[in-house]
Amino acid sequence: MTQAEITGKVVIITGAASGIGAACAQHLAAAGAIVIGLDIDEAAIAKTFAALGAPHTFKTLDVSSLTDWNDKVKLIVQEQGRIDIAILNAGIMSRPRGAPLFDSPLIWFNEAAYARVKAVNLDGVTYGIMALVPQDTVSRILVMASGAALTPLPMDPFYTATKFAVLGLARALASSLQEKGIRIDVLCPGAIDTPLTAPDVRNSYKQQPVRFIAESVLSILSTSDSKSHVWRAYDEQEGLCPHEDQAANVLDDVK
């Protein structure tokens, strides 16, 4: 699939109300795709997609509910005729937004935080794939993981665990999905300037712009081979590149 071939494709994006999801929606719409944004925050996603205008539209979605996933996928297919590409981007961290990220992670190491983070970061991806696989038109799934999927993030063990999990899930599914004509990629961003990032982290680390990740997504979707890949996008100057796992020497492309 080249960038020209993205034109007219129906793309769904979770977590599309703000941050990386909203930037991806804007870039894909500019590339000619028909973008359907999905987010639990109806007011925020309505504002984002009002700026995009028709034919782009949105649905509210609780990614942690398989029932909601199945209902919304069915509705989108009824309205659009198909789904071609899915970007599973929705994600949260253990702390509430704005809470300092450099306090002890044990403060937030509790059942409620674990259930909340797992529901969005892991269940949201797993249920999304479950709902999408039966759709014969889906050819690409892109899972938004994190640099925390490659190198543990001590400040947020639950976030790290769920991002490791979605990376493993995608890689384990890759060969089976390929047999169905679906390529699944995993993108691992570094520190990105989004509302998800706590203020103390913003003051301590250089944050890359969301535009960088949106451009990386477009680049990945523009590659035309059928293999699944793991990508990292840590620094705009370094750019998008395949990930090499030092512990395992290299994450080989799924054959």
Domain architecture of the chain: domains with CATH: 3-242 (3.40.50.720)
- Helices then strands, each counted (H, E), the chain: 9, 8
- At 200 the pLDDT is 59
Predicted pLDDT at 208: 85
Q: What is the pLDDT of residue 62?
A: 98
Q: What is the pLDDT of residue 96?
A: 76
- The span from the CA of 240 to the CA of 218, in Å, is 11
Q: Return the closest-CA partner of residue 160 out of 147, 148, 151, 144.
A: 148
Task: Count Cβ neighbours within 10 Å for each residue of 68-95 and write b for 16 or more, e otherwise.
Answer: bbeebbeebeeebeebbbbbbbbbbbbb
Distance CA(81)–CA(51), nearest Å, equals: 24
* Ranges of the chain whose pLDDT falls below 70: 1-4, 101, 193-205, 244-255
Q: Mean pLDDT of all residues in the chain?
A: 89
pTM, rounded to two decimals: 0.90
Pairing outcome for strands 34-39 and 230-233 = unpaired
- Catalytically active residues, by annotation: 159
Q: Which whole-number Å values give the CA distances from 214 to 112, 144, 161, 231, in the listed order? A: 31, 11, 24, 13
pLDDT of residue 79: 97
